[in-house]
Structure 1
């Protein structure tokens, strides 16, 4: 069994504030250790379930947060940026499951460090007219590869968002949101044991998949889905929307909202290009 782990940071055990998850925050270095140990718990759960290969993608911010010297040696790590596919870089149709560690709820939800990709720069995202954030877009892209999202960890609002997208996801809350920068924490040892057990259970009870990708014309391996979807993004800044209109195929529905259509994997890659353009256009830090 081949398992792919996408690791974010806002939903990691014990972390509640920008100082915990952003360099050079006063607790960022400590947060890196906590993030690495949550991922290690997921790796242990994967191997306990019979995994033969685990690939971890550092998917938060600078994407060089995980500490390689502390990471379970059985896992391979993708580190750094830019990555064309961002939070799912390295995912392919030959994986059996995706595990999301340390995820957070979308912008506008009262969850711990809630946002959608860029702090306050993105106001809302819609996929086929349904409000979404990082969880929903990742789930849809994984489904386009034919790979189910088996498990997710984060605060209770992230877990609720994930299971609303797909009730088959095994979600484990490592903290209960009290506000955007406050939470009631699950004790660290208990949280890591819970992550390990949740991942193990999820992988030993894998469903048939959310929407299997079509079979290839020759052979039995899956190929990505080419079903068309519509992606709409509303930005805080009209400047970002204006710059993005230079990309062919994008339409502006108002001064701050852009929309386009395409297959899900194309949209996911295109969205990562949006983020690079938006980063160049703006200089505002997230969470302000």
Structure 2
């Protein structure tokens, strides 16, 4: 069984603050170790449950956060940016299951470091009319390729979100949200056991199924009018309101590629402290 881990950082053990996940800070260096520990705990559980190959796709920011020298030697790691499917690169390679590790709640909702792709400028994303976290978006992409979600880890609100878009996936809350920048955290020695046990159980669900083909619609709301106007320059992207754009795509794969373009253009339109 070949399994992929899509590894984000905001939902990792102990993370509660921007500096915990911002490349180059002292806090980031500290939490890289905890992040790598969460990944290793998951890898251990997957192999205990019958995995024969585990690919870890770095999915946070620079996508160069996990410490390769400390990674479980049974795993392989896809690191670095500018991957066509970004957080989900490798989902189309014939894997039998995927883990969403270190995920977080959606933009515009409560949750530790909640956001959707951009850290601050997006106030909401909707997939086919339903407000969507990165987990919901990535779950739809996995379903298109016939890949089950085995496990989701993050704060308690991330787990509640996962139960809505994929109630059969295992879920591990490594912290309890108090606010966007505060949480009740569990020590890594404890969360490691929780993650390993859930990953092992999650492997019972591994195995490809018939993919769900079909078109999708994504709408994105920004916190400023000029970001929506910048995104609407993209062909097929429609300006729906002063801060909202939308587009249709023939498949979820195409939808996520278009979404990546929209977020990249909007990010490039941010100007200084005014956004």
Q: TM-score range by the shorter chain?
A: over 0.9
Q: Which string of whole-angstrom CA distances, capped at 9 and with x for unpartnered residues, describes residues 92-147 of structure 1?
A: 15111100111111112221111111122001101010011211101111111110
Runs of 4+ deviating beyond 6 Å = none
- Structure having the larger proportion of residues in helix: 2
The question of whether the paired residues in 2 share the 8 Å contact of 1:49 and 1:203 is answered with yes
SS of match in other structure, 2:73? coil
Tell me the CA shift for residue 195 of structure 1: 0.3
1:236, 1:16 → 2: CA distance?
23
Matching residue of 2:53: 53
Counterparts of 1:195 and 1:161, CA distance in 2? 18
Within a 5 Å distance, the mapping from 1:252-267 to structure 2 comes to 252-262=239-249, 263-267=251-255
* Alpha-carbon separation, structure 2, partners of 1:141 and 1:132: 13
CA distance in 2, matches of 1:208, 1:32: 32
User: Which residue matches 1:67?
Assistant: 67
Residue ranges of structure 1 left out of the alignment (5+ in a row) = 214-224
Residue matched to 1:273: 261
Indicate conservation of the 8 Å contact 2:228/2:243, yes or no: yes
Q: Counterparts of 2:101 and 2:51 in 1: how far apart (Å)? A: 17
Partner of 2:155: 155
Change (3 A) 1:284 1:42: farther
**Map of 2:17 onto structure 1:** 17
Equivalent residues in 2 for 1:1-288 (5 A)? 1-92=1-92, 94-206=94-206, 212-213=210-211, 225-262=212-249, 263-283=251-271
SS in structure 1 at match of 2:116:
coil
Distance 1:141 1:283 in 2: 32
3-state SS of the aligned residue for 1:27?
Answer: helix
Aligned partners of 1:113, 1:136: CA distance in 2, in Å? 17
Q: In 1, are the aligned partners of 2:231 and 2:263 still within 8 Å (CA)?
A: no
- Asked whether the 8 Å contact 1:93–1:147 carries over to 2, the reply is no
8 Å CA contact 1:93–1:146 kept in 2: the answer is: no
So what's the TM-score if we normalise by structure 1? 0.91
| Structure 2: stretches of 5+ with no match in the other structure | none
Distance 1:73 1:101 in 2: 18
Distance 2:204 2:168 in 1: 13
Q: Deviations over 1:182-221 (max 9, x none)?
A: 1111121110011011011011244875xx21xxxxxxxx
Q: Residues of 2 paired with 1:165 and 1:249: CA distance?
A: 27
- Counterparts of 1:232 and 1:52, CA distance in 2: 38
Distance 1:3 1:165 in 2: 20
Shift in alpha-carbon separation, 1:56–1:62, aligned structure 2, 3 A: same
For 2:174 and 2:25, the matched residues in 1 are separated by: 22
Matches of 2:88 and 2:18 in 1, distance apart? 23
CA distance in 1, matches of 2:110, 2:237: 31
Counterparts of 1:149 and 1:284 in 2: how far apart (Å)?
Answer: 38
Measured in 1, the distance between the counterparts of 2:173 and 2:158 equals 8
Query: How many Å separate the matches in 2 of 1:226 and 1:49?
Result: 29
Q: TM-score, normalised by structure 2?
A: 0.95
